[in-house]
Amino acid sequence: MGRNGREIAMRDPALAALMGVMGSDFGDEEVYDDLGEPDLFEGETTFGGISFGDEDDDVGLDSIFGAAAPAAAMTNPAVAQRIVQHHMQKRAHRDRRLLLLEPNKYSEVKVERYTFSVSQVISTLGTAQTLGPVSNSPDVNFRPQRVTCNSPSPGFVLIAEGRVANVSFTVGGTIDSWQFNANSVGQSLDVPTLTPANKATFTGNYTALVPTPLSGTGSYTFIMSFTGPASIVA
């Protein structure tokens, strides 16, 4: 086994002794009559046959760790490999479950997916209005990968420019904010990472359209949201 295998083996004293990287003291060696049928595993095949019984049965492998290790495994590479593989599979399964709760557990850089927004109030529905430039900055290092606008219909708000830091993510023409509505698909972007010292900005105009379900001449807050990876602050 290589260096990584040795390091893995050292995490468990029984496994380390089994792989020969430290001294072994597994208790009474008389538990095993010979290399044929060990008393520890009833109804199972010999160590020479490598099998530990039913493939889905963990009895035997679990008994090795923290209990008497068979002398056969000390000299049989195939048996040792089987034991190590089982041990690594258990650790890998445990780590997969643990990462559901702590995705950054083994990472020196702590990153999650966050969102923040830039907004402006349309003061009177039914009356055209220029929007922006309006801007906002995130509280953490943040890399937007999706833009979402709360436009209730096409033609509601037209975007003249959207900018992250000093880079525009609209590189020509007028964009209908409906393109970035919450139901749109495939609207991914790759723009520069924002820091708290930089801002996301948009400019555009409200067209005076009052689509359903909006009505009357009240106000409406137009929101452009950004979603993407961000550093953890907690």
Q: What is the pLDDT of residue 6?
A: 53
Q: Token digits for 91?
A: 């650790």
CB neighbour list of residue 71: distance below 8 Å, 6 or more residues apart: 29, 32, 35
Which is more confidently placed, 120 or 10?
120
* Rounded Cα distance, 120 and 223, in Å: 7
Go through the domains of the chain in sequence order and give each one's CATH number: 3-101 (no CATH), 111-231 (2.60.120)
pLDDT per residue as tens digits for the range 93-113: 888 888 788 887 888 888 888
23-44 in b/e form (b: 16+ CB < 10 A) is eeebeeeeebeeeeebebbeeb
Report which of residues 80 and 154 the model is more confident about: 154
Predicted confidence at residue 134, as pLDDT, reads 95
Q: Are 219 and 121 in contact (CB under 8 A)?
A: yes
Q: Taking the complete model, does pTM exceed 0.85, yes or no?
A: no
